[in-house]
Amino acid sequence: MSDPKILIALDYPSAKQALQLAEKLEPRECRLKVGKELYTSAGPSIVKDLQSLGFDIFLDLKFHDIPNTTAKACAMAAELGVWMLNVHASGGRAMMERCVDELRGFGAEKPYLLGVTVLTSLSESELKEVGVSRNPNDQVLLLAQLAQSSGMDGVVCSAQEAPMLRKQIGDSFLLVTPGIRPKTAEINDQKRVATPVEALSSGVDYLVIGRPITQASDPGAALHEINNEIQSAGS
């Protein structure tokens, strides 16, 4: 696969566990996502170790700070050679534009930069608790349009919002979706979920999948099965 669609979430507390899982997978079949838990535990070296096994890395740290601080953090991520990284779109236009400007200096080697819209764990009532009066769809659209006009490469959203975003912001803007669960998997703590085929057919570009693969008895086989399902649906 020249452009694998599955980004496997390495939600582990140690580098040893993450590397043990990675060694059971094929880089041609997936990319890997390093989030806050693993990065805080293992530091930048885990990115290099996973890259040495041939994997592209999505550094999922969701930076959100004043513009200069966030932009410098993005630059340090780019120095690591990551394939993709993200910031919270709710950090605002000035923050996102500053990050975009900072990454331009990396030329063709710059990573994809995404804006996080509304976390898939948040319900409408929980958004209201933090002062967001819009429903999740409207808030996602607002932040996605802001990210696009700020020069970002795409956004993180749920599969349910993908058709709306495709209609409003076109096909060239990347959509990356967590909360992906094969039909046989448990939903766990995600509120807005979809199967891999449902997500891709709704306009999603890349799928973040964690426990259905990482907690499988045979992670490599679980990954291969999902890829086969995706390819069969596409044909």
Q: What is the pLDDT of residues 190-217, one digit of tens each?
A: 454 588 999 999 999 999 999 999 999 9
C-alpha span between 3 and 18 (Å, rounded): 22
Q: In 3D, which of 228, 170, 202, 157 has the Cα closest to residue 6? A: 228
Domain total of the chain: 1
Q: In 3D, which of 113, 103, 110 has the Cα closest to residue 81? A: 110
What confidence score (pLDDT) does residue 81 get?
Answer: 98
Catalytic residues: 62
C-alpha span between 201 and 164 (Å, rounded): 13
Collapsing DSSP to helix, strand or coil, 113 comes out as strand
Q: Write out the residue range of the structural domain in which residue 220 sits.
A: 6-234
C-alpha distances (whole Å) from 165 to each of 154, 156, 157, 174, 191 are 11, 11, 9, 10, 19
Question: Is 61 domain-assigned?
Answer: yes
E-strand stretches of the chain: 6-9, 31-34, 57-63, 84-88, 112-116, 154-156, 174-177, 206-209
What confidence score (pLDDT) does residue 184 get?
Answer: 57
Collapsing DSSP to helix, strand or coil, 174 comes out as strand
Question: Is 41 domain-assigned?
Answer: yes
What confidence score (pLDDT) does residue 201 get?
Answer: 93
Collapsing DSSP to helix, strand or coil, 157 comes out as coil
Q: In 3D, which of 149, 34, 135, 37 has the Cα closest to residue 92? A: 149
Q: What is the pTM of this model?
A: 0.92
Question: Is 65 domain-assigned?
Answer: yes
pLDDT lower than 50: segments of the chain = 187, 190, 192, 235
What confidence score (pLDDT) does residue 121 get?
Answer: 86
Question: Is 90 domain-assigned?
Answer: yes
Question: Is 191 domain-assigned?
Answer: yes
Question: Is 82 domain-assigned?
Answer: yes
C-alpha span between 120 and 101 (Å, rounded): 28
CATH number of 143's domain: 3.20.20.70
What confidence score (pLDDT) does residue 187 get?
Answer: 47
Question: Is 1 domain-assigned?
Answer: no
What confidence score (pLDDT) does residue 193 get?
Answer: 59
Contact assessment for residue 54 and residue 19, using Cβ atoms and an 8 Å cutoff: no
What confidence score (pLDDT) does residue 179 get?
Answer: 83
What confidence score (pLDDT) does residue 199 get?
Answer: 93
C-alpha span between 133 and 32 (Å, rounded): 35
